[in-house]
A and B are shown apart, each in its own frame.
Chain A
Amino acid sequence: MKINPFRNRAFPGDARHWPGLFTATAAFFAYVYLPILILIALSFNENRTVTIWTGFSLDWYRMAFSNRDIVSAATNSLIIASVASVSATTLATLAALRMASNDRFLGKTGINAVFALPITVPEIVPAVATLMFFASLGFTFGLGTVIIGHIVFCIPFAYLPIRARLEGMDPKIGEAAADLYANPVQAFWRVTLPQLVPGILSGLVLAFIISLDDFVTTFFLGGAGSTTLPIYIFGLVRTGVTPEVNAISSLMLLLSLSLVSLSLFLGRDQNRKTGPD
């Protein structure tokens, strides 16, 4: 068979140029990103009916920022996410420092399974279980109960990247520190920790985003005065679509997107930059 160099430039066995792969991927990214982009575009729409474009306007953002309920919900979201992510990252860092070493000890696999538990089980189950637990103990539902719930499910999101970072460290650097007469404490503060800081920050930001975006746990463990932005948005969406919701939703999207970019930037594999080994 004669090969037409224009119609079929690639050898059919070259999987990089198979027909359909590019189209499927383009369709996939359109499916993933179009709804988000449409939401953001509509938040700038002047029209109240939401889906018909009549002109550019920042009115809905202005309304959102001057709405006291939204401001207080945003404040709650930030308080909860800050306290929960810092606490969870502290706990996760301590645990990862010990769990990342190569030695085996009794229960290590089990402990790793426990640390993964909050992301293994569908969120609704621990949320209602903790609701019953707190209610049985006579706790008052509010910011405190929400923060406890958030700390628990944030632990794996901080633990996994920090442990990965520790496991990826070159053990020779620690050995070199020991050779240069650093005691274990000095080696930790001067060698291990500085290398680990980007990993910790990356874990912290991920935990912060996860907490900020959470709905289910906050919904079941919350009470009077612990309304967060997702809870507020949910309340509005159930009564109907309003342009204000588009504005707050877009802000939440943009905040998560910038934070996750920051986290991935901090957590990127820096070994790759040191060139071929």
Chain B
Amino acid sequence: MTRAGKNILFRALLIGPALLAITVFMIIPLGLMAYISFRGRDYSGGVLWDQFTAEAYVRLFFESELDGTLALNFNYMYIILRSVWLSFLTMVISLAVGLPVAMFMATRDAKWKAVLVFMVTLPFWTNLLVRNYAWILLLRDHGIINSALLWLGIISEPLPLLHNSFAVAVGLTYSFLPFMVLPIYASLEKIDLRLVEASFDLYANRWQTIKRVILPLAFPGIVAGCVLVFVPALGAYITPELLGGGKTLMIGNLIGFQFGAARNWPFGAALGMFLLALVLTSLWLYARRYRGDLERLQ
């Protein structure tokens, strides 16, 4: 066998198995999902395999009236908009909280940096379900926060903290905050602190220094952090399920519902394609502009 031939065989044997596993059990299923999203719905819960239709996508925006005409239906659009809005809110809150934390971490000495990075990373590896459950204990009517406020006499009735958009936003921020802190920290870490001193020497005040020196340097990390928070928040399933209490649905729950009680696969597939398109568009916009920065951060 030639040297080049051997090289290709070697490559196929090493990379092949992992590539095959992801292709067969992820890429092909995603292809099947795209296919099913254009099939008809069998009301017994199955798929009409030989019927091509865009019905599932139409259903996202319209509903059929009794006389067969289509009328705008805001139910699903409302859930989609809520998902985008809550993810955006999560991103903004994470940024506001994450930026000073990253700044603090980046200005410590090497030993403290290692400890702080470890402490930020640690919760990410703990069970997401359990971390969201912990917020039920805090937010529910007889939970820690309401009990404390009642005891202090600040309120006389428990505040409705659980099972609403507020609870979902708190849970999403809690779940994905480390994804904001770490990339900003990575881009700030290399800052030469003398730049900040130079800025003060040139009569800039603190606010001007933040705006003109620190934010431009942190920018690649901020953008990466925003993407890393926004994308998983958009596809969240557990947080709205537990903290939204079945009332504050997001796209993920709507998809899940089509494979459970609703048994409408084509519609579930179409929603899946819609979420996939939203996520891939955000990533593509980001990659087109900041490709180099992303690779540097990894």
Chain A positions near chain B (C-beta within 8 angstroms): 11-16, 18, 20-22, 24-25, 28-29, 31-33, 35-36, 38-39, 42, 49-52, 91-92, 94-95, 97-99, 105, 111, 114-115, 117-118, 120-126, 128-133, 136, 148-149, 151-152, 155, 159, 206, 209, 212-213, 215-216, 219-220, 230, 233-234, 237-238, 241, 245-246, 249, 252-253, 256-257, 259-261, 264
Contacts and interface: CB of A to CB of B under 8 A. Distances in A.
B105 to A, nearest CB: 7
Interface residues of B, number: 89
A49 B2 CA distance: 74
Given A38-B144, A122-B279, A215 B129 contact: yes
B32 A21 contact: no
A129 B29 contact: yes
A52 B144 CA distance: 8
Nearest to B11: A98
B177 A32 contact: yes
B255 A125 contact: yes
Interface of B: 10-11, 13-15, 17-19, 21-23, 25-30, 32-33, 36, 97-98, 100-101, 103-105, 107-108, 116, 118-123, 125-131, 133-138, 140, 142-144, 147, 174, 177-178, 181, 193, 196-201, 206, 209, 214, 231-232, 234-238, 242, 252, 255-256, 258-259, 265, 268-269, 272, 275-276, 279, 283
Given A16-B108, A237-B133, 15 more contacts: A11-B197, A14-B193, A18-B206, A24-B104, A35-B137, A39-B130, A121-B235, A129-B272, A215-B128, A215-B238, A237-B129, A241-B137, A253-B127, A260-B122, A264-B121
A20 B14 contact: no
Given A51-B144, A155-B21, A233-B129, A99 B15 contact: yes
Of B118, B127, B252, B268, the most chain A CB neighbours within 10 A belong to: B127
A94 B201 CA distance: 55
Query: Which 7 residue pairs across A and B have the least CB separation, nearest first?
Result: A122-B235, A13-B200, A24-B100, A133-B29, A129-B29, A35-B134, A91-B18
Contacts of A133: 25, 28-29, 32
A106 to B, nearest CB: 10
The winner among B26, B105, B118, B259 for most chain A CB atoms within 10 A is B26
Given A124-B256, A253-B127, A91 B17 contact: yes
A259 B119 CA distance: 14
A219 B238 CA distance: 11
Interface centre among A122, A234, A238, A253 (most CB of B within 10 A): A122
B269 A118 contact: no
Contacts of A216: 237-238
A95 B18 contact: yes
A257 B126 contact: yes
A18 B129 CA distance: 36
Given A98-B10, A148-B25, A213 B196 contact: no
B133 A220 contact: no
A147 to B, nearest CB: 11
B196 A38 contact: no
Contacts of A249: 127, 130, 133-134
Given A35-B134, A241-B140, A257 B122 contact: yes
Given A12-B206, A39-B133, A149-B25, A129 B30 contact: yes
B193 A245 contact: no
B25 A152 contact: yes
9 contacts: A28-B101, A92-B18, A98-B11, A114-B19, A122-B232, A123-B235, A124-B252, A148-B25, A155-B18
Contact of B107 (A21, A92, A95): A21
Contacts of B143: 51
B275 A28 contact: no
Given A129-B29, A233-B129, A111 B15 contact: yes
B11 A241 contact: no
Contacts of A51: 137, 142-144, 147
A111 B12 CA distance: 12
Nearest to B214: A15
Contacts of A130: 25-26, 29
Contacts of A91: 17-18, 21
Contact of A220 (B107, B108, B259): B259
